[in-house]
Amino acid sequence: MKTKIIAVLFLTYFNPSLKAQQPTKQSSDKQEKMEWFTDAKLGIFIHWGIYSVNGISESWSFFNNYINHDNYMKQLHGFNASKYNPTAWVNLIKESGAKYSVITTKHHDGVALWNTNGENATTTLKNSAAKKDLISPFVSELKKAGLKTGLYFSLPDWSYPDYDGFTRDRKRYKLNEEPDRWNKFTSYFQGQLNELSSKYNPDLLWFDGDWEHSATEWQADKILANLKKYNSNIIINSRLNHNGDYETPEQGIPVVKPGNDYWELCYTMNDSWGYQPYDFKYKSPNMIIRTLVDCISMGGNLLLDIGPKADGTIAQEQITILKGLGRWTKKHAEAIYGTRAGIPAKHFTGKTALSKDKKTLYLYADWSLNNQDQLLVKGLKSKVIDARIVGTNHNATVNQVRDGIVLKVPAIAWDQDATVIALKFNEAIQLTEGINETVDFEQLADQKTDFRLQLKNIVGSIHQGNNPFEKTSLPQDGLNFKEGKYALQPMLYDWITKNSEGLYKTGKGLPEGHYQGKCALSADKQTIYLFVEGKPTGPIALKGIKNKIARIRIVGEGTMIEPQIYNKLYWSAIPGIVYIPVPADRLDKDLTIIAVLLDGPVDLYREKVGAIESNM
């Protein structure tokens, strides 16, 4: 599924003047309609079609002339669905923790997976080796299981004789020259949409391919009116020339929270939507879980894709990911479903979310700490009355510090992927407006302050652009730092001199969204220093870095690390996600600094990702 990408500059989502306005009946009705979607947080996308026979790109492979159309369509003869078990599919989807599923009823190749009555339609019942309607039994199982039904529908149909588009180099006709043919096509696909509505009563319609024509040409108003005749509460994505209910960023986890109140990241497990046997670039369950957390923290959903094989079985790699995801969602259901976007990143190093009443704050820690270290939460006005480790029988201990609280999590309670701490308040959470993380060298000389809290203060201060070593004699290599030798606690002195490269003349770190922790930039802005707390449960991630990575190493001991880039689409200017696997045996026991050297001064991508336009 490769669809349209329109990048527009991100507009801030917080607008006090809008917030002050009273909700209209229309906005209230939409909020009620969208409630289940907002609560769901996780859906499973299914790209299944004849392209799974050869294991090639769905529809795009012939559109881009990688294979001609006739040979592409020959895959119908191998698409047998001989081991298709919709009950097993739905059981696996439910086990993953998903609350809805979206399946391709028809991709751009025009092959319908249900028994459509459209004239000249190509269907799996009539034209494939399967000789089956594949949508009906799946939808039936979804409804039995209590999951919401989503149907993907391609507006373009590159195989249909009266559609104007065919391949990148071939057009059948021009609309203004042969309007009757276009009208025949619109009648055809409108009829198919009416069939899907009457037969399956979907909760959600997932359109794709709208970039090929305008809303007027697609007759978007008529589409919406017809769909609402069958289900007045039908939810529609934005890929109907922005006439839908929610945004659908694709592949790249948004750097900043999308402007729409409702959004969903559609995301592959490897780099392919449909089944491709030689695409081995699968993400780990840990990476997928943390992607889900990222979406939850910004108030969005994750629509995670699977691509079944031509016989209807699901690749073991995909099953492993779904089951790993299910382990975590089952344990942490309270901190997933029904939550809302969290608090600003300045308050906590990891991701956060809030309960609907805003009386519970969920902290997601995708790292673990040793028995001496603690989690720091800054700027809480409200008093914590309870601190539970979600999914366990354990509590965290809470201690008040100067401008926040520190939490200690029992060693037995850490989760292998992401630990969740639920902080309960007796009121809707109140936060301090400004958080002052400035610390100077004289304050570091306080021998009574906890050593690890001093480290947090140092990295927090540098991240905000206030370097406590700016007016000291600290050299880049840390040698002969005389004033520190006599003023600082020995453990603090040792850590500073070991990691001095990341502290020497470093300035304000990256804006929120690019890295979930604290960081700093070198004076020439060409090196990013990432401050890594504890032991990460998986590779740490950088988002929205346009630069090429020259090298990555661990500060103070020199180990080189090879990053992995995921979701970098070669035809798109949007950067991929840089995953950095940090060797556990090379971590600093107190706080690790990772140096990321770029090919030039840091260049950031902070635009809102819309839908996708081209796929050469």
Delineate the domains of the chain, giving CATH numbers in brackets. 39-335 (3.20.20.80), 345-425 (2.60.40.1180), 441-598 (2.60.40.1180)
Is 70 exceeded by the pLDDT of residue 291? yes
Token digits for 127?
Answer: 């034209």
Is 50 exceeded by the pLDDT of residue 611? no
Residue ranges of E strands in 79-233: 100-106, 111-112, 122-123, 148-154, 204-208
* Maximum Cα interatomic distance, the chain, rounded to a whole number of Å: 88
Q: Which residues, at least 6 apart from 19, have a Cβ–Cβ distance to it below 8 Å?
A: none
Q: Kindly state the average pLDDT of the residues 542-547.
A: 95
Q: How far is CA 132 from its chain centroid? A: 34
Q: How many CA atoms lie within 13 Å of 142's alpha carbon, on the beta-carbon side?
A: 26
The DSSP symbol for 492 reads H
pLDDT band at 424 (very low <50, low <70, confident <90, very high): very high
d(CA 411, CA 369): 8
pLDDT value, residue 22: 56
Q: Kindly state the average pLDDT of the residues 106-125.
A: 97
Confirm if 370 and 357 have CB atoms less than 8 A apart. Answer: no
pLDDT value, residue 10: 33
pLDDT value, residue 118: 94
**CA-wise closest residue to 552 among 537, 564, 566, 568:** 564
pLDDT value, residue 567: 87
Place of tokens 């081209």: 614
CA triplet 415, 417, 420: central angle to 5 degrees? 55
d(CA 329, CA 292): 10
Q: Kindly state the average pLDDT of the residues 580-594.
A: 95
d(CA 432, CA 358): 15
d(CA 164, CA 592): 58
User: How many other CB atoms are there within 10 angstroms of residue 128's CB atom?
Assistant: 24
pLDDT value, residue 16: 37
Least confident among 138-152, 321-335, 573-587, 597-611: 597-611
d(CA 355, CA 393): 20
Token digits for 354?
Answer: 């809030």
Confirm if 39 and 337 have CB atoms less than 8 A apart. Answer: yes
pLDDT band at 27 (very low <50, low <70, confident <90, very high): confident
The DSSP symbol for 21 reads S
Please state at what angle helix 86-96 crosses helix 316-331, rounded to 10 degrees: 40
The DSSP symbol for 392 reads S
Q: With 0-12 CB in 10 A as exposed, 13-18 as middle and 19+ as buried, what is 97? A: buried
pLDDT band at 447 (very low <50, low <70, confident <90, very high): confident
Is 70 exceeded by the pLDDT of residue 39? yes
pLDDT value, residue 453: 87
Is 90 exceeded by the pLDDT of residue 564? yes
d(CA 587, CA 593): 9
List the 375-378 sheet strands across, edge first. Answer: 375-378, 404-408, 397-401
Confirm if 90 and 137 have CB atoms less than 8 A apart. Answer: no
Is 60 exceeded by the pLDDT of residue 160? yes
d(CA 355, CA 388): 14
pLDDT value, residue 440: 87
Q: Kindly state the average pLDDT of the residues 379-401.
A: 95
Residue with the bigger pLDDT between 452 and 84: it is 84
Q: Kindly state the average pLDDT of the residues 582-589.
A: 94
pLDDT band at 5 (very low <50, low <70, confident <90, very high): very low
pLDDT value, residue 19: 41
Q: How far is CA 124 from its chain centroid? A: 33
pLDDT value, residue 509: 95
Tell me the average pLDDT of the chain. Answer: 92
Q: What percent of the chain has pLDDT over 70?
A: 94
The alpha-helical segments, DSSP class H, found in 85-178 are 86-96, 124-127, 135-144
Is 60 exceeded by the pLDDT of residue 4? no
Confirm if 367 and 421 have CB atoms less than 8 A apart. Answer: no
Q: Kindly state the average pLDDT of the residues 232-252.
A: 91
Q: How far is CA 449 from its chain centroid? A: 38
User: How many other CB atoms are there within 10 angstroms of residue 121's CB atom?
Assistant: 23
Is-above-0.85 flag for pTM?
A: yes
d(CA 571, CA 589): 42
Q: Is 8 left (phi over 0), alpha (psi -120 to 50) or beta?
A: beta
Is 50 exceeded by the pLDDT of residue 347? yes
Distances (CA, A) of 227 to 32, 191, 206, 221, 555: 18, 11, 12, 10, 58
pLDDT band at 569 (very low <50, low <70, confident <90, very high): confident
pLDDT band at 14 (very low <50, low <70, confident <90, very high): very low
Q: In one letter, which amino acid is 501?
A: E
User: What are the DSSP calls for 412-441, one per residue?
Assistant: GG--SS-EEEEEEESSS--B-S-------H
Q: If you count them, how many residues does the chain have?
A: 616
